[in-house]
Every structure is written in structure tokens, then in C-alpha cells.
Amino acid sequence: MRKQNRLFLLPAILLAVIAASGRSAAADIPNSALVQPEELAKILQKNSATKPLIFQVGFQKLYQQARIPGAEYVGAASQAEGIQQLEKRVASLPKNKAIVLYCGCCPWWHCPNVQPAYQLLHSMGFTNVKVLYIAQNFGADWVSKGYPTEKGE
């Protein structure tokens, strides 16, 4: 029983350290790579052939509940399977392809998914990658603002 309690304590301690430091992996994404929800919503409303490819790199349940129209689910980027799926999906794309990544599972400074996805694409040589800045969560920062969504598989 004590061993189980220790296992639950470790993630809590790590989150407390991250919160106390005011930094997370998401904080390592440069401001120039961020796109605000309002800006992305405007881009998506334009009738243009140059819309970005959008990847949801968070958890599948969130993707099923509500997502940005046209977004593809590639798996949680905090897990090896998600990173592998993202790598496979973009392998044949031109390196200048406009790509937007987003998660929305939790407040920005706690998100475990956006930074690994961004880092992967950056290391693969992609030059036009943006990350949707979601301050609180997808529901509060996208859905409740009335930006377009779709649901389901």
C-alpha cells in the first residue's frame, strides 16, 4: 500500500516543482511560434487553399469531444506512440508546409504534449510550425469563445 502512495506522490511533486518554477516544457516554445486562438479562427474562416494542416497532439477523448474542424488526431505527443504517429504522418510533407499543433488538455504551463510535438517537427526540419496557445484549456479558450468545432471520431 505504501508503495502505491509513493507512485501517486511522484507526479504531484513534479507538478508542484514545475508550478513553483513557473516554467514547463511548453515555456520552451518560442513566442514567434505561437498562434492565438482568435488569429487561428480568422485564418480558418478564410476561403483559402493555403490553410494550415492542424494536428491535435493531446488525448483522444478530448479530440472526440470537440476539435478544430479539419484537425487530425495523431496521438498524445507525451507518449512514444503519439510521437511515432506524428513523425509518420508528416514524413512525406514538404518542410515548409504550414502546420499548427494544439492540445488543450490543461493550462499551458502544465501541458505535456505540445512541446514534444513541436520539438519533433523542428528537429525534422519543418520551418512553418505554429502552436496554438491555449492558456487554460480547449473548452475555455476555444469552445466557449464560439470558435468553430466539430465532434465525433
Q: List per-residue pLDDT tens for the chain, 153 residues long.
A: 444 444 444 344 333 434 444 445 677 899 999 999 999 999 998 877 778 999 999 999 999 999 999 999 999 999 999 999 999 999 999 999 999 999 999 999 999 999 999 999 999 999 999 999 999 999 999 999 999 999 877
H/E stretch holding 115: helix 114-123
Largest CA distance in the chain: 58
Q: What is the CATH number of the domain that holds 92?
A: 3.40.250.10
Q: Is residue 148 part of a domain?
A: no
Q: Let me know if residue 4 belongs to a domain.
A: no
pLDDT at 17: 39
Q: Is residue 64 part of a domain?
A: yes
Confirm whether 66 is domain-assigned.
Answer: yes
Assess if residue 151 is contained within a domain: no
Contacts of 87 (CB under 8 A, 6+ apart): 120, 124
The residue range of the domain holding 40 is: 22-143
Q: How many CB atoms lie within 10 A of CB 73?
A: 18
Q: Of 130, 150, 153, 119, nearest to 43 (Cα)?
A: 130
Residue 91 lies in a domain: yes
Residue 16 counted as domain residue: no
Q: How many domains does the chain have?
A: 1
What confidence score (pLDDT) does residue 25 get? Answer: 61
Global pTM value: 0.82
Query: At 102, is the secondary structure helix, strand, or coil?
Result: strand
- Are 117 and 123 a contacting pair, CB within 8 Å? no
- The 3-state DSSP composition of the chain as helix, strand, coil percent (nearest 5) reads 45, 10, 40
Measured between alpha carbons, how far is 4 from 82 in angstroms, rounded to an integer?
Answer: 27
Domain assignment present for 96: yes
Collapsing DSSP to helix, strand or coil, 139 comes out as helix
